[in-house]
Amino acid sequence: MALNSDHSKKAKQVLTPLLGAALMAYFAYHAVQGDRGLLAWWQFRYQMEVSETELASARVVRADLEHRISLLGPGSLDLDLLDEQTRRVFAYIQPNELVIIPAAQ
């Protein structure tokens, strides 16, 4: 009987820290690799930076387009811009003009 008691006591002394270490390893793994872990957070932050850069670029393009639209408004018609748009949209050229087509890039 004394042998079983000693083995049981030794098993508890070994298994308790092993179980604790296994639980810590489980939670540590999921804190890093999980759906909401560190790696996922870093990926999310990177994607946010990329999206913010794209948004800033889109805002610049939008501001340029809004400026060009304002120049075509009835109160402030820019004749040079109107001529440029007409030529681009309708492929309109004067008989005495020379057209240079750039090479494909």
Given this model, what pLDDT does residue 36 score? 86
- Nearest to 85, CA basis, from 60, 65, 101: 65
DSSP 46-100: HHHHHHHHHHHHHHHHHHHHHHHHHHTSTTS--HHHHHHHHHHHH----TT----
Average pLDDT over residues 13-32: 90
pLDDT band, very low/low/confident/very high, at 12 (cuts 50, 70, 90) = confident
pLDDT band, very low/low/confident/very high, at 105 (cuts 50, 70, 90) = low
Q: Summarize pLDDT for 55-78 with one digit per residue, the tens.
A: 999 999 999 999 888 887 777 778
Given this model, what pLDDT does residue 3 score? 56
